[in-house]
Structure 1
Amino acid sequence: MSEKKETIFLKIPFIIGLTLSLLVVVGFAYALFFGEVCNWLQQCQSKMQYLVKASPNEIGDSLAGFAGSLAFIWIVVTVWLQANELREQRREFSVMNVTMSEQLFETTFFQTIVTLNEIVGSIDLRRQEDGALTTGRDCFRVFYTRFNKLFRKLQKQNHPKALEVAYHRFWLDHQSELGHYFRFLYRAFILVRDNPSRKEYHGKLLRSQLSDQELLMIFYNSLSEQGENFKLIAEEFQLYDNLPTVKLLETSHAQLVSHESFGENPMKTPQNIRIQ
């Protein structure tokens, strides 16, 4: 409601009150000057003449009816005005609550991103051969390389479930490093999905935090039993919009998730999916 309309709306009770009061005054004046009072001898006189000669009690009774009508009108107007003010206050409180809710969500959302990056930064891997240390997002490159080796080994053995078994073995080796990461990331997307204050950019901004290697590991995690909930998240947020599908273990794996999960990914179209 615009400010002009609100002002007019608030003036309506005053206008109606003044109109009714004017009608009461006009009606009283008409009755006073044009009305007649007759006695039992049919001797009549105007009410004005009668009132001038009347006793103070009779004058008071007559004026009490007039004043009572005006008082009743303005009591109704006052109640009406108070109801309008309360309605406006509720509307303002509602707007304030929405604003506070949005501000709280914004704060929580950006703190979630900070925490996610802290979790990624806390991951570290030490190579057994020479003790070389890898930390942060670089660990996902190592994760994917190790997973790839497990898959290729089983593939050479013509294992019928090479992908499933390879990820299971990989998960047993690296659950301690990746378990917290996947759980928190999933809850971060749920936070955005279920909050009424969310905007489209929230999902895109959260998605933009993920590196190519993270997306690849999320992709294969979603194909496993413990990560299958990510399939719905990936579809709703078009999580693989930036996934380099050429880096999948096999191009055909792109068909294992819904096409909607890839959004507008130029590397994922029906024309460029090749079954290897």
Structure 2
Amino acid sequence: MNSQYHEKKQKEIPIFLIAPIISVVLIFLVPISYFITFNGELAKKQDIWGQFGDYVGGTLNPMLSFVTLLVLLYTVKLQRKELDKTSKQLEISESSLAKQIEISKKQQFEVTFFQMLTLFNEITSEIEIQVPQPELEKHDNQWVQITSGWESPKDISGRKCFTEFYDKLRKNPIWLRGTSKQDQTKKISSAYGYFHGSYKDETDHYFKMLCNILKFIKNSDIEDKQFYTDLVMALLSTQELLMLFYNGLSLGSESFKPLIEEFQLFKGITAQQLVDSSHYELYASSAYGNS
């Protein structure tokens, strides 16, 4: 690029020299014209000098004016080139600034996003429940539960709790009532409401944080929103997804269901994993990654 610039400069230098060279030549033509006119001698008559002055003025002035005009035009041309160059530099600067702003926005988004993910993981790891353990006795080489006997409750924490949560939800006798789609919707709300009454302290903060992360992604200006949503979903176990499935259909979670369907949160869920396979149809096909 520098070599091209120097080549252009070398082409421009002779053009700058043309004007003064022409001016000098024209100025030297004056005495030459004089000596040619008067045969190398100074004229003694004033009228001859007057005629010679008119000749020089009439000839030299238009020529010098023309040279001045050329210089002026060339100056305008150079100024236009400089303006074009400045304009291109401004365009490049604006483009670079726009890219920097875009990169800065993405960095700010990712900092907040990963902070929210860290907080979400902390909330998940802090979930703790106690699960009663039945007392077992061995009869005929088989372990049999004693009806009235229970061992000390077993402490469960973190994502393991969701296995117990889903087991509790799945075994609710409410599922045995009704068969219509309307009945299924009511049963889901009732069954999840019953579960929520027992474990709201352990699950509310979890689902609210998850919902806030998804809303943060949706409301951002980031381009590849699905990529960041997939990062979130990669953290969740199958039991967490199944609990999320029924949470999104329960009363009070109306804002969660559209996010689930938009971001294809149940791409890994099958109908056979649900409490009832007919529940699969309660979400739009987009929730399962089907366009």
What TM-score, normalized to structure 1? 0.69
How many Å separate the matches in 2 of 1:104 and 1:158?
Answer: 50
**CA distance 1:236–1:158, shift in 2 (3 Å):** closer
Partner of 2:171: 149
- Pairwise CA distance, 1:44: 6.2
Aligned length: 241
- For the pair 1:252 / 2:274, whether they are aligned, the reply is no
Alignment of 1:156-195 (within 5 A): 156=176, 161-195=186-220
**CA distance 1:257–1:62, shift in 2 (3 Å):** closer
How many Å separate the matches in 1 of 2:272 and 2:228?
Answer: 27
Partner of 1:104: 108
Query: Match of 2:165, as an amino acid?
Result: F
Query: Match of 2:110, as an amino acid?
Result: E
Q: 2:129 aligns with which of 125, 128, 132?
A: 125
Partner of 2:34: none
How many Å separate the matches in 2 of 1:173 and 1:116?
Answer: 22
How many Å separate the matches in 1 of 2:206 and 2:76?
Answer: 69
Report SS of the residue matched to 2:246.
helix
Query: Which blocks of at least 5 consecutive residues in structure 1 are unaligned?
Result: 34-39, 52-58, 265-276
Partner of 2:268: 242
Q: Which moves more between the two structures, 71-80 or 198-207? A: 71-80
Report SS of the residue matched to 2:129.
strand
- The one-character-per-residue Cα deviations of 1:16-70 (angstroms, maximum 9, x if unpaired) are x959x959967x959x96xxxxxx979964669646xxxxxxx8x9987665555
The percentage of aligned residue pairs carrying the same residue is 23
How many Å separate the matches in 2 of 1:102 and 1:249?
Answer: 40
Report SS of the residue matched to 1:203.
helix
**CA distance 1:50–1:257, shift in 2 (3 Å):** closer
Partner of 1:89: 93
Partner of 1:135: 157
**CA distance 1:82–1:22, shift in 2 (3 Å):** same
How many Å separate the matches in 2 of 1:124 and 1:244?
Answer: 28
- Pairwise CA distance, 1:218: 0.6
Larger Rg: 2
- The one-character-per-residue Cα deviations of 1:203-223 (angstroms, maximum 9, x if unpaired) are 222221111111111110111
Q: Is the 8 A contact 1:192 1:198 kept in 2?
A: no
Higher strand share: 2
Partner of 1:113: 117
Report SS of the residue matched to 2:191.
helix
- The one-character-per-residue Cα deviations of 1:178-204 (angstroms, maximum 9, x if unpaired) are 111111111212233333334343222
- Pairwise CA distance, 1:105: 2.8
Q: Is the 8 A contact 1:144 1:217 kept in 2?
A: yes
